[in-house]
Amino acid sequence: MDFSGRQADTRDKFRVSESACPCRMTPEFWREVEETFHGALAQPPEARAQWLAESCRENRDLLGEVQSLLAADGLSLERELRGAVITAALLAGLTGS
């Protein structure tokens, strides 16, 4: 059987055009994302949205990338905290506390 034609069709179907993704992750852009992300983390949670809006101004690509990283970081922190609570509960049960 020759699947070479089907394989090419599949590759073309899932190919993303450059115009569909205007944001290119250049080293300069990544540095800006990284700096903005760490700057946002340094803000109190209640001030973070305002700080991001001011820092990113009209750069929606930067804002989107940083928000995505903050969301992932929040999920990671939430999982760590949940794990710590479960571990503490298990240890308390083992020691009879």
- Give CA–CA dist 25/8, Å, rounded: 27
DSSP state of 26: -
Q: Which residue has the tokens 């990544």?
A: 30
Q: Of 92, 42, 85, 35, nearest to 65 (Cα)? A: 35
Predicted model pTM: 0.57
Span 4-30, pLDDT tens digits: 554 444 445 444 434 444 556 799 999
Interatomic CA distance for residues 68 and 5, integer angstroms: 37
pLDDT of residue 78: 67
